[in-house]
Amino acid sequence: MPSDQKPGTESSGPRHVAIIMDGNGRWAQARGRPRLFGHHAGAKRVREVVEACPSLGIKYLTIFAFSTENWKRTQVEVAGLMSLFRRYIAKETRALHARGVRVRFIGDRVRLDAKLIALMDTLEEQTCENDSVHLTIALNYGGRDEVARATRRLARDVAEGRLKPEEVDEETLPRYLDTRVLPDPDLVIRTSGEARISNFLLWQSAYSEYEFIDTLWPDFTADELARLCQSYGSRDRRFGAVKA
Ligand code: FPP
């Protein structure tokens, strides 16, 4: 779904913020601890950020928890992350629901274990009526993989006569993406000083504003998010147009 904010009509803060939560490993290493220690500290930050969203006018928050490329990490780190996701979901479900947070997952579930998928399904179902904040967790997600999976579904619809090739355009294709019910992100933040997008929301972020900040994810705070939202408010988004 394209951003519903048009030039000149946007409210001052971002409505949809997407975050690449980077720097957990370096944060842990700087303390002489294993990388997983950093991921656990990073998970704690997610709660603080979700809680800050309503007062900052953020209706949609999308976070990059595990990429299609992260399987290349050591078996210990991958297993530790999967266990962290299971524990996070089991532990946070009640608090997320109590705060009226609607949770969705994007990404390919095929490589995830059955227990994790069951927890994801339950969290999505339990929170499906909530509307205070829409939290989307990208898990085994890659932008190119998402576009490839979407194209496969689209091609099937064409082959089976449900869609004509000439009907495929910028409005049709996003209806096949994992994010089909979400607006495009207004602001994408990446922590830890790396200035790249690493296969995150490739289609959806075509017109997003970007913030690359030095803070390592476990040190990221609600105050820093507020500062970035404020600075977003002073940007001039023209979506390719020229101001009259
Ligand atoms: C990148 O830091 C971070 C990840 C690959 C995992 C992100 C996961 C969390 C923040 C854990 C919690 C998330 C949820 C939804 C419970 P890195 O390991 O690449 O850090 P580095 O660049 O310093 O090595």
What's the 133 CA to ligand 1 centre distance in angstroms? Answer: 22
| Residue 60 near residue 183 (C-beta atoms within 8 A) | yes
| Residue 222 near residue 46 (C-beta atoms within 8 A) | no
pTM comes to: 0.93
22 assigned to active site: yes
pLDDT at 9: 39
4 assigned to active site: no
User: Which residues line the pocket of ligand 1, CB cutoff 6 A?
Assistant: 21-26, 35, 39, 42-43, 46, 63, 65, 70, 84-85, 88, 137, 192, 217
CA 113 to chain CA mean position, Å: 21
The tens digit of pLDDT for each residue in 112-134 reads 999 999 999 999 999 999 999 99
Q: Which atom of ligand 1 is nearest to the CA of 67?
A: 5
Q: What is the dihedral of CA 19, 25, 31, 37, to 10 degrees?
A: 90
The tens digit of pLDDT for each residue in 146-157 reads 999 999 999 999
Statement: residue 239 has pLDDT above 80: no
Mean pLDDT, the chain, rounded, equals 94
Q: Where are the beta strands (DSSP E) in 80-214?
A: 101-106, 133-141, 187-190, 209-212
